[in-house]
């Protein structure tokens, strides 16, 4: 029973996947069928990758250290801010993604999450 994933880590995984799917939808919406929209697609793809990476750190078989969970969650938020500033994502989508990223950082900052990941991670 000690090896079961804590509930807040399950929430982190779900939120990371939701953020990644929202970013993929923003990526599809940013395509305007011309070469000039490629940078918008690429930035949104980076946002999606960061959210999926953050989701992966909250899983039972997390491949990273406990402190790295916080870093990857923070990077998802930072890339979201960059995408909003650059204009690659609609503002309301960026706000939703940023709220998700802040919740991911809050979950990752819990001391028992870091301890659980460090004791159960797969190298």
1 within domain boundaries:
no
- The reported pLDDT for the residue numbered 1 is 43
- Sort residue 62 into left (φ over 0), alpha (ψ -120 to 50) or beta: beta
49 within domain boundaries:
yes
Q: How many domains does the chain have?
A: 1
The residue range of the domain holding 97 is: 7-120
- The reported pLDDT for the residue numbered 122 is 65
- The reported pLDDT for the residue numbered 59 is 83
For tokens 């750190």, what's the residue? 57
CA angle in degrees (0–180, nearest 5) for 12-13-18: 95
Do 47 and 80 contact (CB within 8 A), yes or no? Answer: yes
53 within domain boundaries:
yes
- The reported pLDDT for the residue numbered 9 is 87
30 within domain boundaries:
yes
The per-residue pLDDT string of the chain (123 residues; one tens digit each, 9 = 90 and over) reads: 456 777 888 899 999 999 999 999 999 988 888 888 788 889 999 999 999 999 988 887 777 877 888 999 999 999 999 999 998 888 999 999 999 999 999 999 888 888 877 777 666
- The reported pLDDT for the residue numbered 2 is 55
85 within domain boundaries:
yes
- The reported pLDDT for the residue numbered 118 is 77
pTM of the model: 0.89
Four-point Cα dihedral 102, 105, 111, 117, nearest 10: 140
2 within domain boundaries:
no
């Amino acid at each position: 029973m000690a090896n079961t994933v804590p509930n807040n880590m399950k929430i982190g995984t779900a939120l990371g996947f939701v953020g990644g799917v929202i970013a993929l939808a923003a990526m599809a919406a940013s395509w305007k069928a011309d070469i000039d929209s490629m940078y918008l697609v690429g930035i949104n793809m980076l946002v999606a990758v960061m959210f999926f990476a953050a989701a992966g750190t909250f899983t039972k078989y997390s491949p990273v250290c406990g402190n790295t969970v916080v870093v990857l969650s923070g990077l998802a938020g930072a890339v979201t801010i960059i995408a909003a500033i650059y204009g690659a994502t609609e503002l309301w989508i960026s706000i939703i993604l940023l709220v998700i990223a802040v919740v991911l950082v809050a979950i990752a900052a819990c001391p028992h999450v870091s301890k659980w990941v460090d004791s159960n991670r797969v190298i």
